[in-house]
Amino acid sequence: MGSKSECVTYIVGYKYSLGIQMVACHGPVDAVLGMRTDDYIVWSGTVSSNTRVHVDKPELYGGKDKEGGVAGDIDIEFGNSDQGQNSYLTSLFGTAIPAFRGVLQFVLRRCYLGDSHYLKPWSFRVRNCARLAPGWNPGNASISGDANPAHMIRACIVNTVWGMGYLESDVDDASFSAAAQKLYAEGFGLSMTWDRAISIEDFIDEIKRHIDAVLFVERTTGKWELHMLRDDYEVENLPVLDPSNIVSVESYKRLTQAEMINAVVLKYQVHTGTGDREESITVHNTAMIQRLGQTIHKAINFHGISRAALAAKVAGRELKSASSDLSSATFVALPVGDVVGLREGSPFVFSWPKYGIVQEVMRVVTIDWGTLSSGKVRITAMQDIYATPEASYVEVPQSGWIDPVNLPAPSPYRRLVEIPYYSLVRLYGESTTFWDGFEETSGIVGTLCVKPTDDAFSYRLWTLQPYGRSLVPTYMDRGTFAFAPSALLVDPIGKTDGEIRLENMIDVDLVAEDAYAYIGDELVKMLTVNPVSGVCAVARGVLDTVPADHAAGTRIWFADGRHGTDARVLESGDTATARACPITGKGELEISAAPTDTMTYGARAIRPYPPGNVRVNAEPYPIAIAGALSLTWAHRDRIQQTAYIVEQDEGNIGPEAGTAYRLRIYGEGGALLRTFTGIAGTSLAYPIAQEITDSGALGRPNESLRFVLDAQRDGWDSWQAHDHTIAECLGYGMFYGDHYGE
C-alpha cells in the first residue's frame, strides 16, 4: 500500500490595506510638512498645493517580523475654492460626493497599513501663517515659521466658518497692523492648535496671555482693537488719577513676601524633524531667594512658544511679575479729564496722599463705565511691571539632552564588488544546486556600506531589475544587511609591509581575525586586530588578488561575511545598479534619497588564481637586483583554497587543472621586451644575453625592469597579476665598457 501526503497551508498573519479619508483641519493652509502614525514618520517634506505623495515604508513598524509598515499613494488636498472631486472617492461612491472644499484632507488610496489588527492613530504637521488672514500684511504673517499672533487673533475674529464671524470693517486695522509689526520685530511667533476643546474666546485669551496684550471693542468706534503691553511710554506724559478725579479708593493692597515667587519654570514646545518636544527653562530671582532663604517655584505652560530665546524672554517677564511686590487697587472715578481716555491696558499715574502713594504707574485691568444715571467709572488696576526695577535673575542652562536616535541618512561610503569564488562557496556551499545555474561567465554582486550614524543598525538593499513584466526598469527590495566595518590607513604601505595603522575606525571591534578585507582592490587577511590602537598585522594579497602599494588615507573595507547581495546571477559585461537605504529607530531612508552605485561584471569567480609567493632573485618585490632577472613562484588553486585563506608565502597548492603562467618583461623605456606563455613550472630565468638581444638598439642590459606575472586557464586570465618595477638593475661587469669614461 502506498501513502498519501497532503500539502497543508498555514496562515501566519494578515496584511491590511485600506482606503481612508481623513480631514485634518479647516483649509486651505500654507503647507503640509509631515505625516505620522504614533511615533513613526510616514512622510516628511513640504507640499503647498494639491499633491499625491507615494509612501514606500513597508518596514516602518518592524517589517514582516513585527507589525509591517505603510505603503501606497496618499492624496493631499488643501480645500481651495476651485477644488474638484477626489478621483479615488468618486470611484468608490460615485459623483454625488462633494469636493470637500474648505478643509484639508488626506485620502489614502487603499494603502498597506501594516500587519497589526488595529490602526495606529494618524497626525499631521501643518503650517498656516499667510492664509490665516489672506492678503492682510503678508510681509509679517510668518515669524521664523511660526504664525504672527496678531494674524491669529484677527482670523479668530473675522473668519465666518470657524471664527466669530465679524466683518473686516469691524476690526481696527491701525491697531492690529501696529501690533503685528511689533510682534514681528520682537520675533514673537506662536504655533498653536485650536480644536474646539475650548471656546474661540478662550483661545484668544490664551494667545493674549502668551504675548501680553489686550483686546477690546473701542466704545467710540465699535471696532476691535489689539494693543501690546510694553514699556513704550514716558511717565511724564501719562494721564494722572488722584483726588481731583477719584471719588473713592475701595481697596489697595500689595503682595507680601509669602505671596511672591522667586523661580519660574516655563515649559514650551520645540519643533524637531520628528515632531514637537517639550522643553523647559528655569529663571531665578537670586536676590529674592537670598532674602527668603528658600526657592519658591512656579511652573507655567507656554506651549505656543517654539524657540528657546523667546522662551527665556517670556520667562523673565513672568518672573519679574511674580517676584515683585506689585500693588493692586480698585477705585471709583469721575468720567472727566484724563479718565475719559483710559481703556483696558492703559498705563496711568496713580497718586493718593492718604496712603502715601505718589506717582505710582499702574495699568487698567478692567474698566466699568457705569450708567448714565450714576455718572461714575469703576476701575480695577495693577502696578505696571515695566515701571518697576528690573528683577535680578539668571537663566539656568537647558538640559543639553540630544535625541540619541537619528533620522536615517545615506551611507557616506559604499562599494560594489563582484563576490570572489571563496565567498561564494562560503555562502552557497559546494553542492550542485547553486552551481548548476552558474555559468563560467557568471557573477554575483556584493554591496559594502559603512553606517552613517552610530545608531543605524542595518540597511535595505534595492537593486535595479532591468526588465520584468514591465518594460520600465524598477528597483526591487532585496532584504536587509549589516554594515561593513571600515577605517583609513594612517601611513602609505608597500607590497611587503605586514603591519598597518588605522584611523577613523568604524565598528573595527567587530572584525574577526583571519577574515579578509579590501585595501583598494587588494584583499588582505587580518592576522591581528586592535580596535583601540588601530595597529593590525595583515597577510598581503590573498585569494585572487596580489600585493599592491597603497597611499595614506586609503579606505579599508572589512568585507568577509559583510556582503549584501541580491543573489542574482548575472553575466560578464552586465551592469549591477544598487541603492542602500540605512535604517534607524526613526525609520528607513527613502529610496529616492539614496545614492546610486553601479558595477560591471567581469567573470571574477571563474578566473584562475594568480601565482603566490613570488620571489625576484630570491627576494619579495625588491627595488634593486644584481645580475640577471630570475623569478620563482608557487602554484595556487581556487578550487582547493576554500577551507581557509591561504597566505602569499605558503608553498604550492594545486595548480588547478589546465593552469599555465604568463610572464611579460618590459625594459627601462617601457617597451615590452619579451612575453613567456604556457609556463607550467614555478620559475623562469631571463639571461642577460637574452635581455640585451631583446633590448635591440639599447645594446646593453636595462637599468630598470618591469615584470607582469599572471595565470591563464581555458582562455581566462587571473583576476589580478603581479606587476612590479625593479628600479635598479646592478651587478659587477653588467655595464663595464658600455659607459666607461662617459
Give per-residue pLDDT as tens, 507-522.
Answer: 999 898 899 999 999 9
Predicted confidence band at 403 (pLDDT cuts at 50, 70, 90)? low
Q: What pTM does this model have?
A: 0.56
Task: Provide the pLDDT for residue 542.
Answer: 93
- In this structure, the answer to whether residues 581 and 478 fall within a common structural domain is yes
Check whether residue 156 and residue 303 sit in a common domain. Answer: no
Over residues 272-286, the mean pLDDT reads: 79
Say if residue 655 is preceded by a cis peptide, omega within 30 of 0. yes
With a cut of 50, say whether residue 2 has pLDDT above it. no
541 occurs within a structural domain: yes
Q: Are strands 357-368 and 347-352 parallel, antiparallel or unpaired?
A: antiparallel
Percentage of residues in the chain having pLDDT higher than 90: 49
The candidate with the shortest Cα–Cα distance to 418, out of 199, 569, 623, is: 569
Q: Where does the pLDDT of residue 635 fall: very low under 50, low under 70, confident under 90, or very high at 90 and above? A: very high
Give domain status of residue 54, yes or no: yes
pLDDT band at 406 (very low <50, low <70, confident <90, very high): confident
58 and 106 fall within a common domain: yes
Q: Which residues are within 8 A (CB) of 44 and not within 5 positions of it... i.e. 6 or more apart?
A: 33, 34, 35, 125, 273
| pLDDT exceeds 90 at position 323 | no
Asked whether residue 648 falls in the same domain as residue 544, the answer is no
Residues 465 and 537 in one domain: no
pLDDT of residue 472 exceeding 80: no
In this predicted model, what pLDDT tens digit does every residue of 543-601 receive, in sequence order? 999 999 999 999 999 988 888 888 788 878 888 889 999 988 778 888 888 999 998 88
Does 38 share its domain with 108? Answer: yes
Cell output for 250: 475701595
Amino acid 739: pLDDT = 39
Instruction: Kindly report the number of other CB atoms within 10 A of residue 185's CB atom.
Output: 10
Mean pLDDT, rounded, for 175-194? 92
Q: In this predicted structure, what is the pLDDT of residue 477?
A: 84
H helical segments located in 261-387: 286-292, 308-322
Query: Higher pLDDT residue, 158 or 259?
Result: 158
pLDDT at 736: 43
Does the residue 88 lie in any domain?
Answer: yes
Q: pLDDT band at 63, cuts 50/70/90?
A: confident
Q: Residue 366 pairs with which residues in a beta bridge?
A: 380
DSSP state letter for 162: S
Average pLDDT score over the chain: 86
Q: What is the DSSP letter of 92?
A: H
Q: Following CA atoms 424, 430, 436, 439 in sequence, which dihedral angle do they give, to the nearest 10 degrees?
A: 40
Contacts (Cβ under 8 Å, ≥6 apart) of 151: 129, 132, 133, 136, 137, 141, 180
- Say how far apart CA 379 and CA 250 lie, in whole Å: 10
Find out whether 735 and 701 touch, Cβ atoms under 8 Å: yes
Q: What three-state secondary structure class fits 91? A: helix
Q: Which of 166-180, 343-357, 662-676, 725-739 has the lowest mean pLDDT?
A: 725-739
Cα 243 from chain centre: 67
Average the pLDDT over 432-459 and give the result. 83
Question: 707 with 622, same domain?
Answer: yes
| pLDDT average, residue stretch 82-86 | 94
Contact yes or no for 516/421 (Cβ under 8 A):
no
Q: 447 and 595: one domain?
A: yes
Mean pLDDT of 66-89: 92
642: CATH: 2.60.40.10
User: Looking at the predicted structure, is the pLDDT value of residue 221 above 50?
Assistant: yes
Q: In the predicted model, is pLDDT for residue 663 greater than 80?
A: yes
For residue 28, say if its preceding peptide bond is cis, omega within 30 degrees of 0: yes
DSSP, collapsed to helix, strand or coil, labels residue 709 as strand
pLDDT at res. 490: 93
User: What are the angstrom distances between the C-alpha of 193 and each of 21, 302, 473?
Assistant: 21, 13, 45
Rounded to an integer, what distance in angstroms lies between the CA atom of residue 96 and that of residue 86? 11
274: pLDDT confidence band, cut at 50, 70 and 90? low
pLDDT band at 741 (very low <50, low <70, confident <90, very high): very low
Confidence of residue 338 (pLDDT cuts 50, 70, 90): confident
Write out pLDDT tens, residues 492-509: 999 999 999 999 999 999
Q: Which of 212, 228, 244 is the last residue of a domain?
A: 228
> SS in 3 state form for 165-202?
CCCHHHECHHHHHHHHHHHHHHCCCECCCCCCCCCHHH
Model confidence pLDDT, tens digit, residues 462-471: 888 764 444 4
d(CA 423, CA 415): 16
Q: Among 327-331, 419-423, 439-443, 728-732, which stretch is predicted with the lowest mean pLDDT?
A: 728-732
Q: What is the CATH number of the domain that holds 460?
A: 2.60.40
**Cβ neighbours for 603, distance < 8 A, ≥ 6 positions apart:** 440, 441, 442, 443, 571, 572, 716
> How far is the C-alpha of 604 from the C-alpha of 601, rounded, in Å?
8
Give the pLDDT of residue 258.
64
Which residues lie closer than 8 Å to 92 by C-beta, 6 or more apart? 19
Residue 360, domain member (yes or no)? yes
742 pLDDT band (50/70/90 cuts)?
A: very low
pLDDT band at 372, cuts 50/70/90?
low
Check whether 737 has a pLDDT greater than 60: no
Identify whether 356 is part of a domain: yes
Q: Do 645 and 545 form a contact (C-beta atoms < 8 A)?
A: no
Nearby residues of 49 by Cβ (< 8 Å), 6 or more positions away: 78
Q: Is the pLDDT of residue 656 over 70?
A: yes
pLDDT at site 72: 92
Question: What pLDDT does residue 732 have?
Answer: 41
d(CA 260, CA 391): 12
Residue 362 is part of a domain; what is its CATH number?
2.40.30
Same domain, 463 and 567: yes
Kindly report the length of the chain: 742
Q: Is the pLDDT of residue 85 over 80?
A: yes
76: cell is 493631499
Please compute the mean of the pLDDT values over residues 431-440 and round it to a whole number.
Answer: 69
Specify the pLDDT at position 389: 58
**How far apart are alpha carbons 88 and 73 in whole angstroms?**
11
Structural domain tally of the chain?
7
Cell numbers describing residue 98:
462633494
Q: Which amino acid is at 343?
A: R
Q: Please, how many CA atoms are within 13 Å of residue 165, restricted to the half-sphere of its CB?
A: 3
Q: What nine digits make up the cell of 571?
A: 553575466
The residue type of 32 is V
Give me the pLDDT at residue 373, please: 67
**How far lies 239's CA from each of 4, 186, 334, 381, in Å?**
106, 27, 14, 14
Residue 503 near residue 487 (C-beta atoms within 8 A): yes
Q: Which domain holds residue 169?
A: 138-228
- Is residue 202 included in any domain, yes or no? yes
- Residue 386 grid cell: 515695566
Residue 594's contacts (CB-CB under 8 Å, 6 or more residues apart) are: 410, 462, 579, 580, 581
Find the range with the poorest average confidence among 190-194, 400-404, 702-706: 400-404
Q: Last residue of some domain: 557, 574, 592?
A: 557
Looking at the structure, tell me whether residues 242 and 336 fall in a common domain: yes
Does 415 score more than 80 pLDDT?
A: yes
Are 299 and 164 part of one and the same domain? Answer: no
Judge whether 51 lies within some domain.
yes
Predicted local confidence at residue 661, as pLDDT = 96
**What residues have CB less than 8 Å from 322, skipping those under 6 apart?**
260, 261, 264, 298
Dump pLDDT digits (tens) for 111-166.
Answer: 998 887 788 899 999 999 888 888 888 899 999 889 999 999 999 999 988 889 99
Amino acid identity, position 531: P
pLDDT of residue 636: 94
Are residue 577 and residue 468 in the same domain, yes or no? yes
Q: What is the pLDDT of residue 724?
A: 94
Residue 402 lies in a domain: no
pLDDT at 631 over 80: yes
Residue 17 pLDDT greater than 80, yes or no: yes
Boundary residue ending a domain (127, 156, 184): 127
Residue 740: pLDDT band (50, 70, 90) is very low
